[in-house]
Structure 1
Amino acid sequence: MNEEIVAQLDRSAAAMTSKRATRALEEEDVILRGRASVPAPITYSDITRANARQLAEQAGSFARFAERVGMAEAQVSQIVGRNPTRNIGSKLGRKIEAAFDKPIGWLDRPQDGTEFGDLSGATGVIALSVELEAFRDRAAKAAACLRAASSAPELDSKNLVALALSLLDDD
């Protein structure tokens, strides 16, 4: 039963990605034909860095941000400083989100009110890949819960299934 749910989650993720990617590619075609203005390029690194900087500002200083995340202040400067030399990878992103009680994928999404549907062209494709990565992360955790539920006592099994479903709810 749990394997069926995991397979269904995989199919749902693929369908969601396919529809959104098709829409983004159609929008890219409109841009390339000159019927729309080309947006300023936004990369995954730009989005995560801007959001990490926002959290550093909320923390009050790089030192407080570093302490909260469990990093050295010099490392924080390398990822969110004036001239950053490192990008924020998935593992570090999840660590930062956990330190600031943000949901999985928060750091990867534009926090300025822009929705993925509002982005076009290459920017939209990048945003969709970020969204897909966050969804896959949640789906993997949900799958682990379901696998554990199959061998757990009934009460624990119900709680694990409920946790798996909550992981898949949209934020």
Structure 2
Amino acid sequence: MRITMALGDITEQDVDAVVNAANSSLMGGGGVDGAIHRRGGPAVLDECRALRASRYGRGLPTGQAVATTAGNLPARWVIHTVGPVHSRDEDRSALLASCYRESLKVADSLGAATVAFPAISAGIYGWPMDDAARVAVTTVRAASTSVEEVRFVLFSADALAAFERALSG
């Protein structure tokens, strides 16, 4: 597997699947989640509503992943995963790692060769960027997957630098 980095907007990535740092409701929100729902359009929300009405009545649990159509995005699918809120009192890094592993499992089940990830939990969920990058890169490197390229798409130069450090470290 090839790991690449890009500074930019995950909703513009021409990949098989983009990963959404979703909230458990799957109904959209702020940050990456809101951007994916806005750009993906009603088809993404319609499939999320169907998932809530069937398998995830209480919402998608933290660390798990599920796919929907990508609607109007250049990608074919959106893989939604719920990252943990960072805590200084409790080590939740296993849940963060699970987001990456489970997203790659879903990508494999779809036959996706290229997957774009954001920095899960590093926005409003408060995960320190350097540690978020370390967990992401370490987990993806160790994953058993058929995905050919994992692209981390970062929203700022500082985030990109943190992921580049994690990749080279």
Q: Would you call these one fold, judging by a TM-score over 0.5?
A: no
Q: In terms of Rg, which structure is larger?
A: 1
TM-score, normalised on structure 2? 0.28
Higher strand proportion, which one? 2
Structure with bigger helix share is 1
Structure of higher RCO (CA pairs closer than 8 Å, 6+ residues apart): 2
TM-score under structure 1 length normalisation: 0.28
